[in-house]
Structure formats: C-alpha cells, structure tokens
A and B are shown apart, each in its own frame.
Chain A
Amino acid sequence: MSDSPVVRARNLGKTFGKGSDRVEALRGIDLDIESGEFVSLIGPSGCGKSTLLRLIGDLVPASSGELTVNGKSPQQARLDRDYGIVFQKATLLDWRTVTKNVELPLEIMDEEARSERAASMLDLVQLSDFAKHYPWQLSGGMQQRVAIARALAFEPSLLLMDEPFGALDEMTRELMQQEVLRLWQQTHTTVVFVTHSIPEAVFLSTRVIVMSARPGRITDRIETQLPYPRTVDTRESAAYYDKITEVRESLRRGDRQ
C-alpha cells in the first residue's frame, strides 16, 4: 500500500434529475480515507451517505468534483476489482450453494483454486458446516455472513458496506458487528460502512463521518479513540457512551444548520 489515501474526494457533488425534479444529493464532499481505517458514514435518511458509498464503488457516476480510489478513477478501481461490496440485502443467488455463492466473484475473475479459497473464507466467517446449503436454508445473519465472505473472497483492499445489518435483529446485529471487527483486523481491509445506527457507528469505527441532508454534506468527523479489540466490555464503558453522545449531538447540530 502506498501512502496516498484509499479514498480521496475533493468538492465532490452529485445531483439526480433535471429541471424542477433536480435533487442535490451531495455537495462539496471533501474526504480522505486512509488505508486500514474503518470509517462509518452516518446521518439522517436523505443525507446521501449511501450515494457517497455508491460513488466510491462506481455504481453511480459523480456529477462534479474529484474522486479517486487507490489513486485511480472509481471506474478503474472497480475494473481492477479493488473493492468488495455488501448490501443491506444479502443478494445471494438462490440457485447456488453457499460455497458456489462465495466462488462467484472468483469465477468471474478467473481465479485458480476457487474451492480452497471459498472454503477458507467460509472458515473465516464460521460457516464451514453450511458450505453445501442453499441460501434459503440459512438465517438472515448467516446469509449476510456469506455475503461478507463473498465480498472478501478476492481480497479487495476496500470493503464497502451499505447498512449491512439493517435488516437483522438486535442480538444478531451485535454478533455481526463483532464478527466484522474480527475480519477487519484479520484482513487489514479498509472499510467504509454506511449506517443510521449511532451505537453501531461508534462501536465499529476508527472514525465517524457525520452527514446532514438537503443538500447531503459532511458536517463533522469524529475520531472514536476507543481501543481495539472492542468487546462487550467496550459496549458498557463510559468512553463508549460519551462518544455516542458526542455523535448524537453532532447529528443534531448538523440538522439545525
């Protein structure tokens, strides 16, 4: 990895539609994400946090400003398979077993030793026993773990996660957060994580980017400064609560601006 940031945005803007239907989703985004960081984007709905993630992933094009991923255009980064993505829905292919779902990107990328790679990924997300199962035979949390294994299977330098645990119940959610932190520390992947849950953002991230709506913009950047590994104890610590309060107040301030 070079010293340049993994994600670098300067005065980045995105508008949807034309004329009277014109919606300014993002305005004047300046953001650097360094290698190895775990950055959460948080804000009310309509603040453009998902849009920003999708710009980084080249799923939608930017309207104005500059954006580079690993020093390249987002499109080049996508073509180079620089990032893996996890959506709120697991989007597993129903007709493929768990193993075959994890192998999907490897097939597309013509990688050798796919089954070994898939097996070790499933081992990593602790789903080896379910390798031959079909997605519908798994719970929501397990499906999402398969999606994460799939996104990490080709060892991308960047992991983009768009509200990945939004559809899970609270207990599964906390387990998954723990799991993602473990994977992050094992793989040294840079993570950009979109969420609307303040505790989730604080628990996971090295840095929380606070955003605000109409137009979507960054209003604050908060270093969480909680030591890793983060555990159940972290969730009960005073420092954790203080950070949650700090982010909450920052969100409220941003909303009033």
Chain B
Amino acid sequence: MTDTKPAAREATRTSELRHRLRKHVPAAVLFVLGLVAWEGLIRAFDVESFVLPAPSEIGSRLVDQWSVIMSAAGNTMIEVIGGLTAGVVLGVTVALISVRWEAAREGILPFAIATNAMPIIALAPIANNMFPVTSPVSKMTVVAIVVFFPVMINTVRGLTEVGTGELELMRSFAATPRELFTKVRIPSALPYFFSALKVASTLSIIAAIVAEYFGGPQDVLGQYIIAKANLFVFPDAWAAILVASAIGIAFYGIILGAERLVMSWHVSLRATEAG
C-alpha cells in the first residue's frame, strides 16, 4: 500500500486516465448524436430559423458575431464576478457571525431568510435606478442578493451540523469556542459551502442576464439577446445563449476544481478505495 513501485504507479496512472476518458465517452457520443439529430430534423422538416435554428447556423453566426458577443460576454462576466463575489462574501460572513454568536443569529437570521422571498424580477428595474445607468453595480446588486441566500443558509447548515461526538471530543480537550469553530465547524462546513457555490454560480448568470433585460448599457449579453430577438435574428440570440451557457459551465468547472483542491479528503472526491 505504501511502497508502490514507480513503474507500477505509472501504470495505474495511465489506466486511471484511460478509465476517466472512458467515463466521458457516453456523454460525448450522446452530444454528437444530439447535434446530428437536431441538424437533421431541422433540415428534413424545413423548420424556420425563428422557431429553432440548426446548430450549424448558430455556429456560423457565433463565428460571425464573435467579437461583438465576446465583448458583451466580457461585460456580463464582470457583473457576474462582482455580484457573485459580493454575495458569497456577504453570505459566508453572515453565516459565520450568526453561528459563532447566538445573539447575532436570533437578530440576523429572520432578515437573511426574508431576502430569499424577494422576487429578483421585481428588484431588477429598481436596482437599475439606484445606480448610474452605465454602472454595472446595479446588476451586481441583483446578482449578490440572489447568491446571498443559498450560500448563507448552506454555510450555516454546514457549520451547525457537527456530530455530538466531535463536540464532546473538543469539550474533553477543553477547547475554546474559537478553536471549535476553526478546527471543526469550518472544515465540516466546506462541503456544504461548495455545493452552495455551485448553485450560486449558475444562479448568478441567470440573475445578471435578467437584470440586463431591464435596461442599462447595451454591450451585455442580456441586451444583445433582446435586441437580436426583437429583430428576429434568432440564430444570433442563440449564439449568445450558447456563450452564456459556456460561461456557466466554466464557472462550475472552476468551482469543481477548487473543491478538489481544498477538500480531497471528502467522500465524494476520494480517488481510491481503502486498502
């Protein structure tokens, strides 16, 4: 178990890689088949592109509009990253404070939970008026509010769902509340925090684009989609949607990578079985 020879280790690594690649084969095959079927159906039934454009058409529009869409996507990303960061920082801070000090929990939690009831569609036009028209801060605000709740509530849950065994163990060591917090509660909360982050990253892109629909700078994905849809140039709108999805997947992937890095010890990420 401990003294695996280099050659053997190399072999396991190669077979592991092969195994991993094989794992993705079904998804890749399905993806290609789906595209082919989509393209075939559109051509066979002569579907109008305002109903559903063919993938080839979306692809060629994406190439054509690349620089415009990329510029819009860049601006949307700024809103997403700004809002996501603010929402996550706020959510984690509120969670930490409310679990660490009981009085704070009683005071803050009802209001924190109330933010979840806030309909973001209703909030977007108001936020647009709170800040200068050209400022991305209004969109960031909407994103932050949407992200705040799932991050906060999941982190609270992770911080509080510590087994009685661990609590008694720390008590037997006469650990201070602070030590209990840093050595047990925070590490136990990490899996919850990362699941929340995955949900939040997807939500943040939705929130940003919805907020963009209600006006503001034109060089953003939401406005681009609306403008193209109004002009009945649906393949262009689809190309922008494709890019928005790609951003979502990229965010998700980054979070997944960070998760692997930070908590390789966790059940869901364990590389090998016990020997």
Contacts from A to B (Cβ < 8 Å)? 57-59, 78-81, 83-85, 87, 89, 91, 93-95, 104-105, 107-109, 129, 134, 136-139
Contact = CB atoms under 8 A, between A and B. Distances in A.
A106 to B, nearest CB: 9
A81 B174 contact: yes
Interface in B92-128: none
Contacts of A105: 173
A146 B166 CA distance: 15
B117 to A, nearest CB: 35
Contacts, number: 58
A105 B263 CA distance: 22
B90 to A, nearest CB: 25
A91 B183 contact: no
Interface of A (DSSP majority class): loop
B166 A84 contact: no
A108 B175 contact: yes
19 contacts: A59-B171, A78-B172, A84-B172, A85-B172, A87-B165, A87-B168, A93-B187, A94-B265, A94-B266, A94-B267, A95-B265, A108-B173, A108-B175, A108-B179, A108-B183, A109-B173, A129-B2, A134-B265, A136-B274
B177 to A, nearest CB: 12
B270 interface: yes
Most buried by A among B169, B263, B275: B169
Can you list the 10 inter-chain pairs with the closest CB atoms, starting with the nearest? Answer: A91-B165, A85-B172, A95-B187, A105-B173, A95-B265, A108-B173, A108-B175, A79-B174, A134-B265, A137-B274
B184 interface: yes
Interface residues of B, number: 24
A57 B172 contact: yes
B163 interface: yes
Interface string B236-275: 0000000000000000000000000001011100100011
B167 to A, nearest CB: 9
Contacts of B168: 59, 85, 87
Interface string B185-212: 0010010000000000000000000000
Most buried by B among A78, A94, A95, A134: A95
Given A108-B174, A129-B2, A87 B275 contact: no
Nearest to A137: B274
Most buried by B among A57, A78, A80, A91: A91
A131 B235 CA distance: 59
Nearest to A85: B172
A62 B174 CA distance: 18
Given A83-B172, A89-B165, A139-B274, 13 more contacts: A59-B168, A78-B171, A79-B174, A81-B173, A87-B168, A91-B169, A94-B266, A95-B265, A105-B173, A108-B179, A108-B183, A136-B265, A137-B275
B267 A136 contact: yes
A248 to B, nearest CB: 31
Nearest to A87: B165
A87 B171 CA distance: 13
A58 B171 CA distance: 9
